[in-house]
């Protein structure tokens, strides 16, 4: 793999940037686009100055969108990837705010998501589609360029990427839980340079020590990312997830909200459907899945199809990175190669990496129980997936890979306690079995599933 070739001028996947943008995203649009920037600044339910914005009052975002000029001619001339990204983010936020505002206000009145608008006015649709086509991305709020990775600004410019130091360039609710929720995703990615660096080292090593070093680095990066992920419980309170959730819903899979889809006026009369932004568009877990061999244990089902479908919802340079890594790892499977070489240290790191992926997914599964299932009766995720039945599938794939790794561990691996490992593994397997039994019952209680984690000593919010 050529680790210097995955860039689009905004993202650049390598040991320096990982999956974070190579330069800080533009916080504001240049003067040509003042009217657009004003909508973004005025839009949040709670604005920066604490007063209510357009989304606080029914009907206001519609008036603001009606009054927007059509910047199609201007955006068509733009070529700077950093400016194009900021324009994309801006149009994506305005599009979701406008189309989903009626669903939001119905939710406030009835506790159920109402219908979204099915037509996007030309003054938004045309420039948005033009910018998306230049960037080779779908014209709908995504994770990379719009909601998450391309939406941070550092509060203290000299400070780091911890979520407390990150503000959002564009927002829907403007409340602290929205910021904590999505900026923690950026925070986690501060460890992605180390992850990519470790993978590069492992793949390019020509001796046992080099491989051990590379794998240890990947393990450290996975551990650090997981430590940060756990902070979700404090960065964003689960009871407040609904304050902003409706605005990140996608069109595809959310038929109750969007019906047959969205018409981009002035572009075409067809009803289009795109998936919503979701952490499933993040790259850390997919990269670890590919690198460690978990993908060969992915079950053949709709969730796997969905995860693969989501590959298209990533920047092209990241899609290429994931695909090249996949091809490479198919030809050079890690577990089998380490086993053949009797590489105990490498295998111990690999089991450690798998343990982190397990902890990530099991903790994440607890997020889903609390932030979504305990909060709403609507059984679809923002990405449009039937949440309860899907998420545990990937946990099964991790457990299967762990077992495979264990079976290939050299018998005399120094410093490896087989019994302790098996004991910990069995607890993970039993916890999942027990949860799945409850989930398949008639009256499913998210709290019951959530509490089981404590019984097995595997709770995420200790
Ligand atoms: C409160 C926090 C979170 C909630 C409620 C949540 C919810 C969900 C839901 C419902 C899905 C199902 C698929 C979909 O419709 O997209 C999903 C998938 C996924 N999420 Fe999250 N998520 C959270 C935080 C995160 C974070 C912080 C990350 C990592 C940066 C992440 C990474 C993923 C991944 C990789 C998947 C794909 C499924 C898998 O590979 O196991 N999520 N998430």
Nearest protein Cα to ligand 1, atom 36: 280
What distance in Å separates the CA atoms of residue 252 and residue 240, rounded to the nearest whole number?
24
Q: 254 is written with which tokens?
A: 């959310």
On whether the CB atoms of residues 285 and 358 are closer than 8 A, the answer is no
Q: What is the predicted pLDDT for the residue at 445?
A: 75
Query: From the CA of 280, how far away is ligand 1's center (Å)?
Result: 5
With a 6 A CB cut-off, is 372 part of the ligand 1 pocket? yes
Tell me which residue of 382, 362, 363 sits closest to 372, measured CA to CA: 382
Q: How far is the CA of 291 from the centre of ligand 1 (A)?
A: 19
- Domains with residue ranges and CATH for the chain: 31-455 (1.20.58.480)
pTM (two decimals): 0.94
Which pLDDT score, from 0 to 100, does residue 459 have? 87
CA dihedral 104, 187, 86, 132 (to 10 degrees): -70
- The CA 81 to ligand 1 mean position distance, Å, reads 28
Distance 21 CA to ligand 1 centre (A): 21
Say what the pLDDT of residue 244 is.
Answer: 84
Ligand 1 centre distance from Cα of residue 228 (Å): 15
Per-residue pLDDT tens listing for the chain (462 residues): 999 999 999 999 999 999 999 999 999 999 999 999 999 999 999 999 999 999 999 999 999 999 999 999 999 999 999 999 999 999 999 999 999 999 999 999 998 889 999 999 999 999 999 999 999 999 999 999 999 999 999 999 999 999 999 999 999 999 999 999 999 999 999 999 999 999 999 999 999 999 999 999 999 999 999 999 999 999 998 888 888 889 999 999 899 999 999 999 999 999 999 999 999 999 999 999 999 999 999 888 878 888 889 999 999 999 999 999 999 999 999 999 999 999 999 999 999 999 999 999 999 988 888 888 777 665 556 666 666 666 788 899 999 999 999 999 998 899 899 999 999 999 999 998 888 877 766 566 778 878 888 888 888 876
Nearest protein CA to atom 14 of ligand 1, as residue: 383
Pocket test for ligand 1, best of 244, 363, 364 (most atoms within 8 A of CB): 364
Ligand 1 atom 30, closest CA: 185
Which ligand 1 atom lies nearest to the CA of residue 370?
Answer: 5
C-alpha 419 to ligand 1 mean position (Å): 32
**Alpha carbon nearest to ligand 1 atom 5, residue:** 368
| pLDDT tens per residue across span 215-269 | 999 999 999 999 999 999 999 988 888 888 899 999 998 999 999 999 999 999 9
385 Cα–ligand 1 center, Å: 11
Which residue CA neighbors atom 19 of ligand 1 most closely? 280
Task: Tell me, using a 6 A CB cutoff, whether residue 399 lines ligand 1.
Answer: no
pLDDT at 441 (0 to 100): 63
Protein residue whose Cα sits closest to atom 34 of ligand 1: 280
The pLDDT of residue 229 is 96
Position 166 scores a pLDDT of 98
Q: Tens digits of per-residue pLDDT, 120-170?
A: 999 999 999 999 999 999 999 999 999 999 999 999 999 999 999 999 999
Please give the distance, rounded to the nearest whole angstrom, from the Cα atom of residue 254 to the centre of ligand 1: 17
314 lines ligand 1 (CB under 6 A): no
The reported pLDDT for the residue numbered 442 is: 59
pLDDT at 451: 86
**CA distance linking residue 109 with residue 93, whole number of Å:** 23
């Amino acid at each position: 793999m050529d680790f210097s070739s995955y860039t689009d001028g905004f993202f650049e996947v390598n040991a320096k940037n990982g999956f974070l943008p190579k330069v800080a995203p533009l916080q504001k649009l240049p003067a040509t686009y003042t009217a657009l920037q004003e909508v973004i600044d005025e839009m949040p339910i709670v604005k920066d100055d604490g007063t209510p914005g357009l989304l606080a009052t029914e009907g206001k975002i519609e008036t603001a969108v009606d009054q927007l000029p059509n910047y199609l001619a201007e955006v068509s001339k733009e070529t700077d990837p950093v400016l194009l990204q900021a324009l994309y983010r801006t149009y994506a936020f305005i599009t979701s705010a406008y189309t989903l505002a009626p669903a939001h206000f119905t939710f406030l009145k009835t506790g159920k998501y109402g219908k979204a608008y099915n037509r996007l006015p030309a003054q938004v649709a045309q420039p948005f589609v033009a910018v998306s086509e230049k960037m080779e991305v779908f014209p709908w709020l995504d994770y990379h360029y719009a909601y998450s990775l391309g939406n941070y600004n550092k509060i203290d410019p000299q400070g780091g990427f911890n979520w407390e130091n990150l503000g959002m360039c564009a927002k829907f609710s403007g409340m602290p839980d929205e910021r904590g929720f999505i900026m923690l995703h950026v925070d986690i990615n501060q460890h992605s340079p180390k992850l990519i660096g470790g993978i590069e080292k492992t793949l390019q090593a020509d001796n046992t020590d080099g491989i051990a070093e590379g794998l240890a680095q990947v393990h450290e990066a996975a551990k650090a990312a997981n430590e940060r992920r756990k902070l979700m419980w404090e960065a964003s309170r689960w009871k407040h997830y609904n304050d902003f959730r409706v605005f990140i819903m996608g069109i595809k899979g959310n038929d109750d909200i969007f019906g047959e889809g969205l018409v981009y006026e002035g572009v075409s009369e067809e009803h289009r459907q795109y998936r919503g932004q979701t952490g499933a568009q993040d790259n850390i877990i997919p990269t670890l899945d590919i690198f460690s061999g978990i993908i060969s244990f992915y079950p053949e089902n709709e969730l796997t199809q969905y995860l693969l479908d989501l590959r298209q919802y990533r920047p092209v340079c990241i899609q290429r990175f994931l695909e090249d890594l996949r091809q490479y790892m198919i030809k050079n499977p890690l577990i089998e190669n380490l086993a053949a070489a009797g590489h105990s240290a490498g295998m111990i790191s690999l089991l450690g990496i798998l343990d982190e992926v397990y902890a990530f997914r099991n903790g994440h599964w607890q997020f889903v129980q609390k932030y979504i299932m305990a909060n709403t009766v609507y059984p679809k995720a923002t990405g449009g997936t039937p949440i309860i039945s899907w998420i545990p599938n990937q946990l099964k794939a991790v457990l299967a890979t762990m077992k495979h790794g264990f079976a290939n561990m050299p018998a005399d691996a120094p410093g490896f306690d087989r019994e302790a490992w098996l004991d910990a593994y069995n607890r993970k397997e039993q916890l999942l079995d027990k949860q799945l039994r409850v989930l398949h019952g008639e009256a499913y209680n998210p709290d019951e599933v959530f509490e089981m984690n404590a019984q097995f000593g595997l709770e995420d919010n200790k």
